[in-house]
Amino acid sequence: MSKPIGLGGKAVLTIGHMAGMIDMVALPLWIGGLMQHYRFSPQHAGITVTLFLLGMVIASAVLAPLFNRIPRRLVTVLGFAAASVCFLLIVRQPIDGASFELLAPLHALAGLGAGCGLSLVHGSIGRTDNPHRLFGMVSLAAAVLGIGVFAVVPGLTAQYGASVLFVVFAVAMGLAAAVSLVGFPDLGDPARVSAEGARTASPSSRLIWMPIAVVICLTLNQSMVFAFVERIGAARGFGAGDIQAMLVTLGFFNLLPGPLAAWMQHRISPLNVGIVGPVGQALLAFTLASSAVFAPYALAGVLYVSMVIFTHTFLFGLLSRLDPSGRATSATPAMMMMGSCMGPALGGFIVSGLGYQGLGWAACLVSLVAVVLMARLRMQLRVHADTHQRAFA
């Protein structure tokens, strides 16, 4: 079911991943810009970003079951192009608190377009000869993009306004559409692949919902806490320059988990990573949300996203083994953004009601659910060790 692709095809998938995941990279600047420049309340800022992420969830959930039955190149190009147009329209809207009614629907439409493109990119990665390694490498590329965003965009935003961020989004989506039009990889005849997937279906399909739910927990925690990391620092009285330096350092540190996860692919069980990762995420989230001292806050902030990248790479590889057809990995944007779309809005309500420290307690509860799910999956795979030998390795 897997297929080798050339460097050109991998480059196209990498650019598509970078564009589709740019929201995760820029989430603190996105929320912060809407609150600081557009004068949105925490709830309105969270809901606006949530609508974009919800659009991605809907698009990915609809397309994932159809992955091997649709023209992948065409849908990818149209999806990213539509997202680019929506962000250009957002740039033209007034920068004030009254623009919520205009920005909200445009965010939802942009999410639908980006979700279409990213879903087919991730499904295609899942159909390559080594999905775990390639996903680790595209995560490295997204980290490089994050460095550029955190190093450049805050200064441009301060000089030209919050609309600069949406220009960056539009350019990234437009580039992804262009390269997909030229070189989106050929994974074989969709009808034939769909028939093969039906013939090779296994009991693994009943187990994929557990790692999918764990990914949702991971991304819910990430977006719920990380969306407010800049605001948490400001509320604690940390300097704006120190916070930006922490975000830039975070970007450089995010270069490590993708290649590290690829290198350790055959050295660590994905089941162990799936348990330890949420525990580490909970500890970091609680430190971020409660520390009144800059050093622990900064250290937790630098490590926070890396924990998710490392853990998710192993879970992506696990899903590609449980379902080699590419349908489960094509749903990656849905599972990621389902957690992410709830995070900013939920975080906004928690901050309004309980303060920033409430985010840490909420993250601990979500991580507990993830650990229970992975423990359950481990038990099920041990019961069926012969059937699921490749996934259990």
Location of structure tokens 């977006």: 223
pLDDT, the chain, mean: 84
Question: What is the structure's pLDDT at 12?
Answer: 92
Q: Is residue 202's pLDDT more than 60?
A: no
Please state which of the ranges 218-222, 288-292, 342-346, 358-362 shows the lowest mean pLDDT. 342-346
Report for 4-8, 177-181, 339-343: range of highest mean pLDDT: 177-181
Q: Which residue has the higher pLDDT, 82 or 45?
A: 82
pLDDT tens digits, residue range 223-262?
A: 888 878 888 888 888 888 888 788 878 878 888 888 888 8
Residue 238 main-chain phi, psi, to 5 deg: -75, 145
CATH of domain 7-392: 1.20.1250.20
Q: Phi-psi bin for 161: left (phi > 0), alpha (psi -120 to 50), beta?
A: left
Question: What is the structure's pLDDT at 393?
Answer: 47
Please state which of the ranges 29-38, 118-127, 353-362 shows the lowest mean pLDDT. 29-38
Query: Residue 110: which residues within 8 A CB-CB, separation 6 or more?
Result: 52, 55, 82, 83, 86, 87, 90, 169, 173
Q: How sure is the predictor about 384, in pLDDT bands with cuts at 50, 70 and 90? A: low
Q: Which residue has the higher pLDDT, 318 or 2?
A: 318
CA–CA dist 356, 341 (Å, integer): 19
Please state which of the ranges 94-98, 158-162, 370-374 shows the lowest mean pLDDT. 94-98
**pTM of this prediction?**
0.78
- Which tokens hold the place of 388? 């699921």
What letter does residue 128 receive in the DSSP assignment?
Answer: B
CA–CA dist 200, 151 (Å, integer): 47
Q: Is residue 6's pLDDT more than 80?
A: no
- Tell me what the mean pLDDT of segment 25-30 comes to: 79
Q: Which residue has the higher pLDDT, 293 or 200?
A: 293
Give percent above pLDDT 90 in the chain: 28
Question: What is the structure's pLDDT at 200?
Answer: 45
Question: What is the structure's pLDDT at 160?
Answer: 82
CA dihedral 77, 83, 89, 90 (to 10 degrees): -160
Q: Which residue has the higher pLDDT, 146 or 72?
A: 72
Q: Is residue 4's pLDDT more than 70?
A: no
Report for 179-193, 293-307, 342-356: range of highest mean pLDDT: 293-307
pLDDT tens digits, residue range 251-294?
A: 788 888 888 888 888 888 889 999 999 999 999 999 998 888 89
CA distances from 45 to 39, 51, 236 (A): 9, 10, 20
Q: Which residue has the higher pLDDT, 271 or 3?
A: 271
Q: Is residue 1's pLDDT more than 50?
A: no
Question: What is the structure's pLDDT at 189?
Answer: 54
CA–CA dist 83, 171 (Å, integer): 10
Report for 73-82, 157-166, 345-354: range of highest mean pLDDT: 73-82
Q: Is residue 341's pLDDT more than 80?
A: no
